């Protein structure tokens, strides 16, 4: 098995990203609904960073929100300064640079490393991309990646079945199958969250979240 000593976020919810020419699929297990009476839609594991960028998180949600907020500020500053969307790789680098500042003092510095890993998906000039960040502050571009508690099994499923020329629907079904293999509970529209990051969206935002009805249809087709 993979060494998890440098990955405290390996104990968080399983999250999967799959990048194909038609876009990026982000799928996350929602395993921390506090009560059967809680509204699962109020728990979000996929966050919109900018019109062209979204991210999935695994680990400490509070830490993830801090990094997402920082990414949003960086993205908006870039738009204001250069009148263009911030390149996804540059934005990812900015997030990791911020994560590396822990323990350095100052009002914006954490006393400990951020206990979260992110899958950052975005579009640059119509080309989709996917990046993985970990708590050490390192990042890498990837075609498909699993993070969180079930990452080992899910990554093996991705590695076995990923097709670089696959369609977005094939990528979505692969992400759902990989999640189903590692989840403790039966896959359902209420215990997962799925978003598509599209290069040519109908609206300004490139990210579209799948509805429960859409998820039910896809799960039934597995």
- Residues in the chain predicted with pLDDT less than 70, given as ranges, are 1-11, 32-41, 103-111
- Cβ atoms 161, 174 nearer than 8 A: yes
Res 4: pLDDT: 40
pLDDT confidence of residue 115: 92
Residue 184 has a pLDDT of: 86
Rounded Cα distance between 17 and 119, Å, is 7
pLDDT score recorded for residue 1: 37
State pTM to two decimals.
Answer: 0.90
Annotate 33-77 with DSSP letters as a single string.
Answer: ---TTS-GGG--SEEEEETTEEEEEEE-HHHHHHHHHHHHHHHHH
pLDDT of residue 2: 41
pLDDT of residue 164: 93
- What's the confidence (pLDDT) of residue 212? 94
CB of 74 within 8 A of CB of 94?
A: yes
Q: 3-state class of 208 per DSSP?
A: strand
């Amino acid at each position: 098995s993979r060494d998890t000593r440098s990955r405290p976020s390996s104990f968080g919810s399983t999250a999967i990203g799959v990048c194909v020419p038609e876009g990026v699929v982000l799928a996350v297990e929602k395993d921390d609904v506090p009560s059967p009476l809680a509204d699962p839609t109020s728990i979000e594991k996929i966050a919109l960073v900018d019109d062209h960028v979204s991210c999935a998180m695994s680990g400490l949600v509070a830490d993830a929100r801090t990094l997402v907020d920082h990414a949003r500020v960086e993205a908006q500053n870039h738009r204001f300064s250069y009148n263009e969307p911030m390149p996804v790789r540059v934005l990812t680098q900015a997030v990791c640079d911020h994560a590396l500042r822990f323990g350095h003092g100052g009002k914006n510095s954490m006393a400990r490393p951020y206990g979260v890993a992110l899958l950052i998906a975005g579009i640059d000039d119509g080309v989709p991309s996917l990046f993985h960040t970990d708590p050490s502050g390192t990042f890498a571009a990837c075609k498909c990646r699993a993070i969180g508690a079930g990452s080992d099994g899910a990554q093996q499923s991705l590695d076995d079945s990923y097709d670089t020329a696959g369609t977005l629907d094939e990528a979505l079904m692969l992400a759902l199958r990989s999640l189903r293999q590692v989840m403790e509970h039966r896959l359902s529209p209420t215990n997962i969250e799925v978003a598509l990051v599209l290069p040519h969206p109908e609206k300004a935002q490139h990210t579209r979240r799948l509805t429960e009805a859409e998820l039910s249809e896809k799960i039934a087709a597995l």
